[in-house]
Structure 1
Amino acid sequence: MSRLTENTAFQCENCGARVMPLTNGSFRNHCPFCLFSKHLDDHPGDRSSICSGLMRPIRLDYSGKKGYQIVHECLKCGKLQRNKVARDTVQEDNILSLMTTTAYSLN
């Protein structure tokens, strides 16, 4: 599968937002509005998971090499996965606020 066919627009299954593809050569792996993702990979980028569960953001980590990463937990199978925050996602100082809002809305 090519980057062009994988990097497509989608409708977020959590908040319903229409999410456009990234144009900087990266893959989009989460909704920039609610930070939810979908369990599509067994290993980063392979798109081989048969789970397809919704993945909620549970924590934000920071790495000097990769920057901010959202830790997602699959609501179907429980897998934990880190995803680099997309460049067009809310400003970095607003990510923690969005994570807190999202976490409260899950309970």
Structure 2
Amino acid sequence: MVAPGTAHRNHCPHCLTSLHVDHRIPGDRRAACRGRMAALSVTVRHDGEWLLIHSCQSCGGLSANRIAGDDNALALLRIAVRPLSDRRLPVNALLAL
């Protein structure tokens, strides 16, 4: 099956984990860290495209990466609704955004 966004994937389609290999420009492979990038959150562009927010477990760096068409939908949804399950956050305020 061919799915959009899979030609230049930078993360595992199952667990959504990545490696810290890019420095400033996607695909430059200039990061010296090479640490594990955990999928922390998602954000949505104005055109509706979803991006994964990755956090490097070694250096703390953050990056935004486009999702791919065959990424694990359940894993994406778990990350997307995570703020709603955090009892420290005012859910009514989040829903009003």
Amino acid at match of 2:61: K
TM-score normalized by structure 1? Answer: 0.62
Partner of residue 23 from structure 2, selected from 31, 42, 49: 42
Unaligned runs of 5+ in 2: 81-97
TM-score normalized by structure 2? Answer: 0.68
Q: Could you say which structure has the greater relative contact order, defined with CA pairs below 8 angstroms and 6 or more residues apart?
A: 2
Q: Is the 8 A contact 1:33 1:89 kept in 2?
A: yes
Q: Number of paired residues?
A: 77
Structure-1 separation of matches of 2:16 and 2:6: 20
Unaligned runs of 5+ in 1: 1-21, 101-107
Q: Identity percentage over the alignment?
A: 34
Tell me the CA shift for residue 87 of structure 1. 1.4
Structure-2 separation of matches of 1:38 and 1:28: 11
Q: CA RMSD in A?
A: 2.4
After superposition, give the CA deviation of every residue in 1:10-54 in whole Å (9 maximum; x if it has no partner): xxxxxxxxxxxx886731111111111000000211011110000
Aligned to 2:63: 81
Higher Rg of the two aligned structures? 2
